[in-house]
Amino acid sequence: MVLSDLLQNIIGGVTVGATYGLIGLGVVFLWQSIQRINFANISSAMLAAYLFYTFYAQLHLGFLVSFVVSIAIIAAYGLALRYLVLEPINRHGGDKLEFVVATLMLCIFWLSVVKVIYGGIAKPFPPVFGEATSFVQIGSISIPSVYFWIFFVVLVLVFALHMLLQRTMIGKMFRATAQNKEMASLVGINVDMTTSLAFMLATSIVGIAGILLAPIYFVSLDLGGGPIGIKGFAAAVMGGLVDPLGTIAGGITIGLVENFSTLFISSAYKDVISFVVLVVVLIWKPRGIFNWTTKGD
Amino acid sequence: MKKAVVMLLVVALFAAVLGFTPVRAAEGVVVQITIGSTKATINSKAVVLDQPPLIESGRTLVPFRFIGEAIGAQIGWNPGNRTVSYVLGNVNIVLTIGSITAMVNGVKTTLDVAPKILPTGRTVVPIRFISESIGAKVDWNATTRMVTVTVIAKPSWSTPIKIVLSAPFTGSGSILGEYCKDGAQLAVDEINAAGGVNGAKFDLITYDDQANASTAATVVRRALDSDKAVAIFGPNMSAAVLGVHTLAQQAKVPMLVGATSPSLRYDKTQNDYLFRLRADDGVKVAQQVKYIVEILKAKKPGIILGSDDYCTSALAVAKQAFDKYGIKIVDIENMKEGDKDVTAQVTKLKNAGIDVLVGLTHEPEAAVVMLKVRQLKLTVPIVGFSAWGVPAFTDLAGVAAIGVISVQGFNPADTDPTVKKFVDAYKAKWGKEPSDPAQCYYDGVYLLKKAIETAGSTDPVKIDEALKTVEYTGVQGLMKCDALHNFTNICYISKFNGKTWEVISKIP
């Protein structure tokens, strides 16, 4: 095993892991806002990718238009999620379990809808982030151009979110609501608005992650469920379900663990090892790997 | 007012039911007449003729009404033109008294002897001509001077031969339903346009079996109980076939599948009613390994392996095949269906010093592997299993697939004229190129036609018997049922050049 092999795997693991982190952010935002787990979290990724594919590759609308419209639709979907799923459940006295079941079914529903409209075969993502076979060569390390995009977007997004949460009024309202909803509304914060914002942010971020992942995952049903959804959830858990930075770090950890376990142990046990690592982290640092909680469990 | 409407509907219903009685062929009729005798038999039942048959110019003439009724035709007599007509199924015969010119389905035919009106006032017609025109067999016994006419029981144009196709249109894994249906439907439409099977047309009903056994079971039960299909095509996915083939066995209806798992071979299933229409995976992997060892002369193969049955069965065959050559597999790396990052696997294969990469995965995984292979500059030859030779893989991998070699069940670039004819017809009708397994269902429908013609019946049991012996040369070459109930072992070794697969060798 040469150093370049190691570096190559680190780069792969970190990049893909960062996208797991983005997906985890969707879980975190919603948990922060409504204390519920959205099991259809990953569906936003798949829907965004398919929407972008439709606008760009089928309707030829240009990259910017396709991207903006796709994410706008996904943000609207977030709102719809709140008013058509969460609110009715709350109104009828439903609680955590009902929301879990409803979103689980929603996840399966979206998979079926996409399958019926687009078919079950994966489609290649248009080369907007460079050709799938265009690599940047640094010495003996070869990095696909899409990786640079992923690095860049994740960095920008995380930075922007950090700025939003820490430096803006809205961010402050957000954090206040997350800490204590009753108190926040008592001091005049529009909890209704922050909740809607949380939903829209959650689905949009995951939607962006979906478009970033589509060159690697292809425009396929794989983007909408199963392993990748679980990895996103695991990343969120590693962040204690509350810490965005911890979530990204958690996703990167998962990406690295997958690569190293295959490299040094065996490709057959990759998933088992990832699972074991997740459990170990949970036991060791139940409040998130950075141990940074802004509220009680 | 309401009552009148109801009455009208009831009357209309009755009229519809009565009016649509199709003209059917008599079911298995045997007619015997003896020259000079008024005694005849229809299905061994004694009948008395009002005019004994006679011979003129070497041809036997019989009363026209008798033979018409015996064979079950609709008889017409036009005193104005002095014409006699028979309509049976889609055969229409018109004879003119005193004329040796007859019309069969509008086509002029010359008779050896003209129909005539005898001095007794009876009208007689040539029995052999009438009988053979409707497809019956005529036998002459010179000793007893007896003519035997055998009408074989067969469906007519208005009672089509029902066949069912079970194919995956939704569900996980390779979705090949469109290819299955387009191949079968093309054959059905061609056959029907050319007059059908013994004058009866195929009626193809297609169902989505969702590539899983339980939906396939529902489909097969419906085909057997409700549609009363005489043969079932598909399922195409081996997992689905494993769950339903015993249903066909119990119902004694032949099931012809494109599924390729070796576990469907006759020695494993012992199912007399299950047949395979294309080369199975065991055959293909053996050819793949043969090419790697004998042509590429590779000595250190590495394998990238998927996790489901299609992949693991292929591995078992590959291991056996490499063993026989005395070649040790240097490294096997695993991936799961849906895995998208194989950096580590390809790194390990590269470091193991392999001189050929054997791909035993499905299409999306193949694309993921090839993108990584190009990224990490693994420059050995790549020889993939059948999933590596289809558009579902090359579309995803794009330029990364150039240079990949694969074993295929079908290659539309094959210049063989039979293949080209099929490809052109398929493209003309469906607007796209055919891909494996369209060709096997196309061949399958023609094979069924031949079996029905050989059996002389649409009885599924008789069709099954015929399928075991019949030989048919189709797009896949000579197809004949072997001991494993496989109809063909044809496969190609081809190389992808970015647009098409160039055939390196075609076996056999």
DSSP state letters, B205-261? EEEE-TTSHHHHHHHHHIIIIIS--SEEE---SHHHHHHHHHHHHHHT--EEE----
Q: Which residues of A touch B (CB under 8 A)?
A: 1, 5, 8-9, 12-13, 16, 115-116, 119-124, 131-133, 135, 142, 144, 216-218, 220, 222, 226-227, 255, 258-260, 262-263, 266-268, 270-271
pLDDT classification of B25: cutoffs 50, 70, 90: very low
* CATH code 1.10.3470 for A3-125+138-284: yes
Give the pLDDT confidence score for residue A5 in this predicted structure. Answer: 87
Q: Which residue has the higher pLDDT, B314 or A185?
A: B314
Q: Which residue has the higher pLDDT, B244 or B22?
A: B244
Q: Do A262 and B345 touch (CB under 8 A)?
A: yes
pLDDT tens per residue across span A264-295? 887 778 778 878 887 887 788 776 666 654 44
pLDDT of A120 above 50: yes
Min Cα distance B499 → chain A (Å) is 16
B374: nearest CB among A133, A262, A268: A133
Interface confidence (ipTM) of the complex: 0.86
Min Cα distance A61 → chain B (Å) is 22
Q: What is the DSSP letter of B387?
A: G
Q: Which residue of B has its CA nearest to A219?
A: B396
Q: Do A116 and B376 touch (CB under 8 A)?
A: no
Which whole-number Å values give the CA distances from B227 to B204, B447, B461, in the listed order?
A: 10, 21, 17
Give the pLDDT confidence score for residue B154 in this predicted structure. Answer: 57
DSSP state letters, chain A? --HHHHHHHHHHHHHHHHHHHHHHHHHHHHHHHHS---TTTTHHHHHHHHHHHIIIIIS---HHHHHHHHHHHHHHHHHHHIIIIIHHHHHTT--HHHHHHHHHHHHHHHHHHHHHHH-SS-BPPPSTTS-TT-EEEETTEEEEHHHHHHHHHHHHHHHHHHHHHHHSHHHHHHHHHHH-HHHHHHTT--HHHHHHHHHHHHHHHHHHHHHHHHHHH-BSGGGGSTHHHHHHHHHHHHTTTT-HHHHHHHHHHHHHHHHHHHHHT-GGGHHHHHHHHHHHHHHH-TT-TT---SS--
Q: Quick one: average pLDDT of B158-187?
A: 86
pLDDT of B11 above 80: no
A124: nearest CB among B173, B375, B395: B395
Collect all residues of chain B within an 8 Å Cβ-Cβ radius of residue A259: 341, 343-344
B448 burial type by CB count under 10 A (0-12 exposed, 13-18 middle, 19+ buried): buried
Give the pLDDT confidence score for residue B370 in this predicted structure. Answer: 96
pLDDT classification of A10: cutoffs 50, 70, 90: very high
pLDDT classification of B352: cutoffs 50, 70, 90: very high
Structure tokens at A90: 């709350």
- As its CATH architecture, domain B161-277+414-484 has 3-Layer(aba) Sandwich (3.40)
pLDDT classification of B289: cutoffs 50, 70, 90: very high
The sign of the CA dihedral B465, B469, B472, B477 is positive
Min Cα distance B281 → chain A (Å) is 22
Interface test with B, best of A145, A267, A269 (most B CBs within 10 A): A267
Q: Do B344 and A267 touch (CB under 8 A)?
A: yes
Q: In whole numbers, what is the pLDDT of chain B averaged over residues?
A: 90
Collect all residues of chain A within an 8 Å Cβ-Cβ radius of residue B345: 262, 267
The count of other CB atoms within 10 Å of the CB of residue B369 is: 29
Interface test with B, best of A6, A15, A19, A121 (most B CBs within 10 A): A121
pLDDT of B26 above 70: no
- Strand B54-56: give its sheet, edge to edge: B54-56, B59-63, B123-126, B116-117
pLDDT of A13 above 60: yes
Min Cα distance A256 → chain B (Å) is 10
Q: Quick one: average pLDDT of B33-56?
A: 90
Q: What percent of chain B has pLDDT over 90?
A: 67
Q: Do B343 and A1 touch (CB under 8 A)?
A: no
Give the pLDDT confidence score for residue B329 in this predicted structure. Answer: 96
pLDDT classification of B19: cutoffs 50, 70, 90: very low
Collect all residues of chain B within an 8 Å Cβ-Cβ radius of residue A5: 347, 351
pLDDT tens per residue across span A80-105? 999 999 999 989 988 888 999 999 99
User: What's the CATH number for B282-408?
Assistant: 3.40.50.2300
Q: Which residue has the higher pLDDT, B348 or B309?
A: B348
- The overall pTM is greater than 0.80: no
Domain with CATH 3.40.50.2300 in chain B: 161-277+414-484, 282-408
Min Cα distance A146 → chain B (Å) is 12
Collect all residues of chain B within an 8 Å Cβ-Cβ radius of residue A260: 344
pLDDT tens per residue across span A148-195? 888 899 889 888 888 888 888 888 888 888 788 888 888 888 888 889
Q: Which residue of A has its CA nearest to B374?
A: A133
Q: Quick one: average pLDDT of B140-150?
A: 90
Min Cα distance B185 → chain A (Å) is 21
pLDDT tens per residue across span B411-421? 999 999 999 99
Interface test with A, best of B375, B390, B402 (most A CBs within 10 A): B375
Collect all residues of chain A within an 8 Å Cβ-Cβ radius of residue B333: 262, 267
Q: What percent of chain A has pLDDT over 90?
A: 37
Give the pLDDT confidence score for residue A239 in this predicted structure. Answer: 81
Give the pLDDT confidence score for residue A265 in this predicted structure. Answer: 82
Asked if omega into B412 is within 30° of 0 (cis), the reply is no
- Range with the poorest average pLDDT among B5-9, B307-311, B324-328: B5-9
Q: Quick one: average pLDDT of B404-410?
A: 95
Min Cα distance B450 → chain A (Å) is 35
Q: Which residue of B has its CA nearest to A261?
A: B344
pLDDT tens per residue across span B430-481? 999 999 899 999 999 999 999 999 988 888 999 999 999 999 999 999 999 9
Collect all residues of chain B within an 8 Å Cβ-Cβ radius of residue A124: 395-396, 398
Give the pLDDT confidence score for residue B304 in this predicted structure. Answer: 96
Give the pLDDT confidence score for residue B450 in this predicted structure. Answer: 95
pLDDT of B190 above 90: yes
- As its CATH architecture, domain B29-151 has 2-Layer Sandwich (3.30)
